Structure 1
Amino acid sequence: MSDSTPTATPDRPEALPAQSPPVDPVVTGAVGKGPAHGPGGTGRLSWWRGDGGEGARRNLGLIGVLVVLILIGVATRPDLYGDSGWVWNNILTILKLASVVGVVTVGMTFVIIGGGIDLSVGAIVAIAGVWCTTLATQSYGAGGMIFTALVVGLCVGLVNGLLVSYGKLVPFIATLAMMVAARGLAAEISDKQTQVSDNATINGIASTDLLGIPLLVYILVAVVAAGWVLLNRTTFGRRTVAVGGNPEAARLAGIDVRRHTVLLYALSGLCCGIAAIMLTAQATSAQAAMANLYELDAIAAAIIGGTLLSGGRGTIVGSLLGVVIFSTITNLFAINGLSTEAQNMVKGGIIVAAVLVQQFQFRSLTQFLGRNRLTTG
């Protein structure tokens, strides 16, 4: 008699092979591991609770913070917030205040998602602004000034990328050295003097309104929209996340990690060149000390927006909300006559709180409580 697999019959139930219990696709999606989104609302709820909805939850939380800040403003200055005209003008003031730092933050977000850091963005804005306002550059008109600012920012960013990628310097050290060197070069070019912009077209960027909204806000929106598309809808964005999440795995997947890193720092420098034109238009001048501590504001806004300092995760919309939150705090302190020192202390506390939130997520809390219930049981 030949060996054969027992056949399952009603009188021989022991011959039935062992089977895994059926997997509910809705339950699978609930933990964020599968794309199960049925026609009902359970799949969408699973997405919201899982990893896919983390960015949306964070952005919603940032909007809640903005609402709280507005309520604080209403409570502290009801005389101002009672005037609808003043409220609208104040919103435009906040957006104009956020425009320059917001453009810088877009480039910074890409660099941090890619696993780097750029401490030289403020200095790049300064050297681009000083270089584009020299008499020689201004003689070429507004086009020459804009071209110079963009090229200078792009070139300095490329140098940062080359030092980090091919020079194998730690990003912190490379960009710190560039911050010092660029400030020194800007002071040398300007002879430590303030260079006045005589170009009416450049100066008009800060004073021009379209449909009642400043042109600076339109520039910010355009840069944010371009950054969002680049990060979420292109191969470049997917490679940025891959490089920041695991550089070795990205290299094995065929991504040229070093070249991509150079491009990330070049993109950051390009954003700084755009910001230099915007800041020069606002001040109608440029000097070596301009854009002071912009690197800290940009890093802080990106962190508040959910960008991991270790790389591999971040959103452009979240970074924009982080910039708007800091601008709202500055505006809130200004209308209440509070000191800059107190404002800086509040900003520092917000940065620390944001980093702690990144390291101790709500999911970790629920897992901790679950383990405690099992232990006590």
Structure 2
Amino acid sequence: MKATTTADPGTRPAATRDGGDVLRRWWSSEGNEFAGRNLALIGVLVVLVALGVLTRPDLYGDPEWVRNNIFTILQQASAIGVVTVGMTFVIIGGGIDLSVGAIMALAGVWATTVATQSYGAGGMIFTAIAVGVGTGVVNGLLISYGRLVPFIATLAMMVAARGLAASISGKQTQISQNATINGIASTEVLGVPLLVIILAVVVAAGWVLLNRTTFGRRTVAVGGNPEAARLAGINVRWHTLLLYALSGLCCGIGALMLTAQANSAQAAMGNLYELDAIAAAIIGGTLLSGGRGTIVGALFGVLVFSTITNLFAINNLSTESQNMIKGGIIVAAVLIQQFRFGSLTRLFSRG
């Protein structure tokens, strides 16, 4: 006699269940989510370019102008792009750094003092990077070993670094007299501006560090669950310190790039760069809560903001309107982060 089985009325057919599971797995995959987000950001860039073509067809009708404008956008994005790489690591690691703009100002001012410039380009480069890394280490010490909340520690550093930069410069603009440093902004390699090459190198190095090294895996682990990371044998305090040192390194490099572009440095340089870097990382897919993020997405975020700035500039539109649009993009990006398609599939699966 064959045994009969009675289906549970609360269960769904296997085909439906399997299909839903496959769909959820696909959408919950980080790789697919990041790829989808990057495609969306590319779509935003295409829309922005289309708006430029519609509003200024006279300019976009000139191929030479288009080429030069692309490099202009990339050069405008270069310094903030480098800083965003460091910021992305910090946020993935569960922190935040509000002091990046102030660190850039301090590094730039310190590197352009008369005493520092007397040591030549090497002395200026060493000073900018040393100041950036050193300030980042101070942030890391306060957060890791001083147990300060990252928001408070870096906010205090933001104020202190700006004040020190103003004190060193006497609230005056310091002119860079070094031809090598100034030439960074005007030098081209095979027709590509050196600033763009520096950005590409830093982004590539950041991608490899995050996706192909133990350091990157530990960063994700620390940001996702610090206690679990500690129990797994990761020195969470030391790793957090290294993340802020890395952010400081990026700030030192960015300070040199800004100094080269302006042939000078002042205490006000890098103003609000911390907000732009955080915003670019967020719209690129980095979670503010830590544990997830992508360097490529952050780069696309930087390019979106730089393209918006360029679009407003060629149309002679106000900075106020530009800032409002940027704010709207940030809010939309955060709302998208809170939405998970997997939740929607589970909602439908209950029916």
2:340 is equivalent to residue 361 of structure 1: yes
Residue 288 of structure 2 corresponds to which residue in structure 1?
309
Detail structure 1 runs of 4+ shifted over 2 Å in the superposition: 12-16, 26-33, 48-52, 361-371
Residue deviations 1:257-296 (CA, integer Å, cap 9, x gap): 0100000000000000000000000000000010000000
Output the CA distance in 1 between the equivalents of 2:191 and 2:172.
Answer: 35
Residue 109 of structure 1 corresponds to which residue in structure 2?
88
Q: CA deviation at 1:237?
A: 0.1
Residue number among 34, 41, 61 corresponding to 1:62 in the alignment: 41
Output the CA distance in 1 between the equivalents of 2:68 and 2:307.
Answer: 13
Aligned pair in 2 of structure 1 residues 218, 51: CA closer, same or farther (>3 Å)? closer
Residue 22 of structure 2 corresponds to which residue in structure 1?
30
2:142 is equivalent to residue 163 of structure 1: yes
Which aligned pairs between 1:147-296 and structure 2 lie closer than 5 A? Answer: 147-296=126-275
Q: State the number of aligned residues.
A: 343
Q: CA deviation at 1:49?
A: 7.2
Output the CA distance in 2 between the equivalents of 1:286 and 1:297.
Answer: 20
Output the CA distance in 2 between the equivalents of 1:182 and 1:245.
Answer: 30
TM-score, with length taken from structure 2: 0.93
Output the CA distance in 2 between the equivalents of 1:364 and 1:194.
Answer: 54
Q: CA deviation at 1:360?
A: 1.6
- Answer whether contact 1:30 1:49 (CA < 8 A) is retained: no
Output the CA distance in 1 between the equivalents of 2:217 and 2:295.
Answer: 14
Q: CA deviation at 1:368?
A: 3.8
- Answer whether contact 2:188 2:194 (CA < 8 A) is retained: yes
- Answer whether contact 1:242 1:312 (CA < 8 A) is retained: yes
Aligned pair in 2 of structure 1 residues 27, 360: CA closer, same or farther (>3 Å)? closer
In structure 2, give the amino acid aligned to 1:356. L
Q: Secondary structure at the match of 1:119?
A: coil
Q: Larger RCO: Structure 1 or Structure 2 (Cα < 8 Å, ≥ 6 residues apart)?
A: 2
In structure 1, give the amino acid aligned to 2:22. A
In structure 2, give the amino acid aligned to 1:210. V
**In terms of Rg, which structure is larger?**
1
2:85 is equivalent to residue 98 of structure 1: no
Residue deviations 1:148-177 (CA, integer Å, cap 9, x gap): 000000000000001001000000000000
Aligned pair in 2 of structure 1 residues 168, 310: CA closer, same or farther (>3 Å)? same
Alignment RMSD, CA only? 2.1
Which aligned pairs between 1:124-135 and structure 2 lie closer than 5 A? Answer: 124-135=103-114
Output the CA distance in 2 between the equivalents of 1:361 and 1:197.
Answer: 50
Q: CA deviation at 1:364?
A: 3.0
Output the CA distance in 2 between the equivalents of 1:69 and 1:22.
Answer: 45
- Answer whether contact 1:112 1:309 (CA < 8 A) is retained: yes
- Answer whether contact 2:110 2:127 (CA < 8 A) is retained: yes
Q: CA deviation at 1:29?
A: 7.9
Q: Secondary structure at the match of 2:109?
A: helix
Q: CA deviation at 1:211?
A: 1.4
- Answer whether contact 2:28 2:342 (CA < 8 A) is retained: no
In structure 2, give the amino acid aligned to 1:155. G
Residue deviations 1:37-88 (CA, integer Å, cap 9, x gap): xxxxxxxxx5x77443111111111101101111111111111111111111
- Answer whether contact 1:31 1:50 (CA < 8 A) is retained: no
Q: CA deviation at 1:325?
A: 0.3
- Answer whether contact 1:130 1:186 (CA < 8 A) is retained: yes
Residue 81 of structure 1 corresponds to which residue in structure 2?
60
In structure 1, give the amino acid aligned to 2:169. S
TM-score, with length taken from structure 1: 0.87
2:97 is equivalent to residue 118 of structure 1: yes
Output the CA distance in 1 between the equivalents of 2:184 and 2:161.
Answer: 25
Output the CA distance in 1 between the equivalents of 2:233 and 2:2.
Answer: 53
Output the CA distance in 2 between the equivalents of 1:85 and 1:295.
Answer: 34
Output the CA distance in 2 between the equivalents of 1:241 and 1:92.
Answer: 33
- Answer whether contact 1:251 1:257 (CA < 8 A) is retained: yes
Output the CA distance in 2 between the equivalents of 1:364 and 1:76.
Answer: 40
